[in-house]
Amino acid sequence: MTEPIQKVIAELRTRKNNTRFRDIEKLLLSFDFEERHSKRGTSHRVFSHPKLVWNITLVTHGRNDVLPAYQIQDVINALQELMEQLS
């Protein structure tokens, strides 16, 4: 499972400034992350994974929103840590 993660990380690095929320959402869900919605209806989406001790928080105002580069870096960091956990 670590090889697909490496490919995804490499692709995210090249598209860091042009990645939409819906693409990241699908990606994280495909790697068994769980998405939590705020009960207050905020624009924050929290993704957690049972093998990671920290969460990814993404702020979006719609499924087609382009995410900021720092949020994509958080996703990359989480995927790298997950890859280490799995190897």
Q: What is the pLDDT of residue 71?
A: 94
What does residue 34 show for φ and ψ, rounded to 5 degrees? -110, 140
Q: What are phi and psi of 45, to 5 degrees?
A: -120, 130
What pLDDT score does 62 carry?
75
Query: Which domains, ranges and CATH numbers included, belong to the chain?
Result: 2-86 (3.30.920.30)
The series of mean pLDDT values per 10 residues for the chain, 87 residues long, is 82 88 93 85 88 91 85 94 87
At 42 the pLDDT is 79
Is the distance from CB of 58 to CB of 21 less than 8 angstroms?
Answer: yes
Query: Residue 60 carries which side chain, given as an amino acid letter?
Result: T
| pLDDT for the residue numbered 1 | 59
